[in-house]
Amino acid sequence: MTQPLLEIKNLTMRFGGLVAVERLDLTVNAGEIVGLIGPNGAGKTTVFNCISRFYNPERGTIHFQGRDITRVPSHEIIRLGIARTFQNVELCRSMTVLQNLLLGQHVRMRSGVIRDGLRLSETTRSEREAIQRAMDIIELLDLMPYRHYPAAVLPFGLQKMVELGRALVSQPLLLLLDEPAAGANAHETRRLADLIRDIREQFHLSILLVEHDMTFVMGLCQRLYVLDFGRKIAEGTPEEIQNHPAVIEAYLGESAVAL
């Protein structure tokens, strides 16, 4: 069998006496869109923070492309090919859309500080490539009219698009999306689902997402993991999850079974 792109085994994370995640096993294969769902406080964002290395798990391992990244410093994670968005948008609010997307490429810039001073032509070429990459993503995400606007003045939905763009310009292999459909209406979530599929195909990446909109999740994801109080209570296809008794009891509710 092909090795998973991301493989989490026995992941456990505690905050004092509170168990946020308990003995979680999870995989994401190349090219997959996988959902991580569960009630508020189930531990979903904690899993993202462990993958991103903001948290050091108490137990368990996280492997990416076969490499153990459980103790890799957080600033190295994006270099390895993992990028993320946040439940609450994290942008440099005083910077423009274009500047935010240029900032997202700093780990991919080939020129070091010393070499920059010695090889001006290479620095110029590298900067041109970074600007072009940012503009390509801005166009893809329909952000061109806002490219010179400070992020702070944009509506929340557009800020989420900017954050998505900043993640994409880092050229990830795995994209972690934390509640990408938050605040969107039904029409917007349908467009977002199509966009995420296009991104997966165009950039040849895998996606792990946390989301509360069940219609969005069930129509987009190929596989789902369900957490409740930090424990995995189910995994499977959207159809299997919708009909899983533990999921219905813990999260979806009877009215959601027909989604």
Structure tokens belonging to residue 76: 């190295």
| Domain range for 142 | 94-167
Q: Has residue 189 been placed in a domain? A: yes
Last residue of a domain, one of 167, 188, 212: 167
211 and 101 share one domain: no
61 and 131 share one domain: no
pLDDT score, position 252: 54
234 and 186 share one domain: yes
Cα dihedral angle (183, 34, 174, 189), rounded to 10 degrees? -30
138 and 179 share one domain: no
Q: Has residue 86 been placed in a domain? A: no
pLDDT top residue among 28 and 116 = 28
For residue 21, the domain's CATH number is 3.40.50.300
11 and 120 share one domain: no
Q: Has residue 89 been placed in a domain? A: no
103 and 62 share one domain: no
Where are the strands (E) in the chain, listed by range? 6-15, 18-28, 33-37, 59-64, 67-68, 82-84, 174-178, 206-210, 223-228, 231-236
Burial of 51 (0-12, 13-18, 19+ CB in 10 A): buried
Question: How confident is the prediction for the chain on average, in pLDDT?
Answer: 89
pLDDT top residue among 33 and 254 = 33
Q: Which of 142, 75, 136, 152 is nearest to 101 (CA)?
A: 136
pLDDT score, position 248: 84
